[in-house]
Amino acid sequence: MKNELINTAENAVHEDKTEYITVPKKQFVNLETEISALREELSNLREEIANYRKHMFGQSSEKTKFTGEITDGEQLGMFNEAETEANPKAPEPKTSTVAAHERKARRTHEELAADLPVKEVLCEIPEDERSCDKCGSGLVVIGHEKVRDSIVIVPAHAYIERTMREVCACENCGNDESRDAGLPDIETKNIIKAPAPKPMIEHSVASPSAVAYVMYEKYVNAMPLHRMEVDLKSKGLIISRATLANWVIASSERWLFPLWQALKKQLLAGTVLHADETPVQVLNEPGRKATSKSYMWVYRTGIFEPNAAVLYEYSPTRAGSNAEKFLSGYNGAFVADGYDGYNGVTATRCGCWSHLRRKLVEALPPKDKNGAFPPGAQSVIGFDYCNRLFAIEASLKDKSPQLRNQIRQHCSQKIIDAFYAWLDTVNPSGGSKLSKAVGYARSERKFLCAFLDNPLVPISNNAAENAIRPFVLGRKNWLFSASQKGARSSATVYSIVETAKANGIKPYDYLLFLFNLMPTIKSFTPEILEMLMPWSEQVKETCGYSTVAKRTARDKADSERD
Q: How far apart are CA 355 and CA 562, in angstroms?
A: 13
DSSP 29-64: HHHHHHHHHHHHHHHHHHHHHHHHHHHHHS------
Q: Name the residue ranges covered by the structural domains of the chain.
A: 165-196, 241-504
Q: Contact 213/508 with Cβ under 8 angstroms?
A: yes
Res 75 pLDDT > 90: no
**Would you call 281 exposed, middle or buried from its count of C-beta atoms within 10 A (0-12, 13-18, 19+)?**
middle
Can you give the pLDDT at residue 53? 66
Query: Would you give the distance in Å from CA 190 to the centre of its chain?
Result: 60
Q: How confident is the model at residue 4 (pLDDT cuts 50, 70, 90)?
A: low
Q: How far apart are CA 311 and CA 494, in angstroms?
A: 8
Q: Lowest-pLDDT range, 270-274, 360-364, 411-415?
A: 360-364
Mean pLDDT value of segment 206-223: 93
Q: Lowest-pLDDT range, 89-93, 327-331, 498-502?
A: 89-93
| Of 113-117, 134-138, 281-285, 514-518, highest mean pLDDT | 514-518
Can you give the pLDDT at residue 52? 64
Q: Contact 212/255 with Cβ under 8 angstroms?
A: no
Res 548 pLDDT > 60: no
Phi and psi at 56, nearest 5°, equal -80, -40
How confident is the model over 456-492, as pLDDT tens digits? 999 999 999 999 898 888 887 777 777 888 889 999 9
What does the CA dihedral 391, 392, 394, 396 come to, rounded to 10 degrees?
170
Res 89 pLDDT > 60: no
Q: Contact 274/308 with Cβ under 8 angstroms?
A: no
- Choose between 21 and 399: higher pLDDT: 399
Q: How confident is the model at residue 96 (pLDDT cuts 50, 70, 90)?
A: very low
Q: Lowest-pLDDT range, 26-30, 75-79, 378-382?
A: 75-79
Give the other-Cβ count within 10 Å of 139's Cβ: 11
Can you give the pLDDT at residue 94? 47
User: 322: which residues sit within 8 A by CB, 6+ positions away?
Assistant: 295, 297, 313, 315, 341
What percent of the chain has a predicted confidence (pLDDT) above 90? 42
In this structure, the chain runs to a length of: 562
Res 181 pLDDT > 80: no
What percent of the chain has a predicted confidence (pLDDT) above 70? 74
Q: How far apart are CA 242 and CA 229, in angstroms?
A: 9
How confident is the model over 243-296, as pLDDT tens digits? 999 999 999 999 999 999 999 999 999 999 999 999 988 887 887 887 788 899
Q: Lowest-pLDDT range, 27-36, 60-69, 119-128, 256-265?
A: 60-69
Res 415 pLDDT > 80: yes
Q: How far apart are CA 232 and CA 490, in angstroms?
A: 21
- Choose between 100 and 349: higher pLDDT: 349
How confident is the model over 396-407, as pLDDT tens digits? 988 999 999 999
Res 9 pLDDT > 80: no
How confident is the model over 131-178, as pLDDT tens digits? 888 888 888 888 888 888 877 777 777 888 888 889 888 777 666 666
Q: How confident is the model at residue 71 (pLDDT cuts 50, 70, 90)?
A: very low
Distances (CA, A) of 378 to 384, 403, 542: 10, 33, 54
User: 150: which residues sit within 8 A by CB, 6+ positions away?
Assistant: none
Q: How far apart are CA 498 and CA 317, in angstroms?
A: 23
How confident is the model over 41-63, as pLDDT tens digits? 676 677 667 666 666 655 555 55
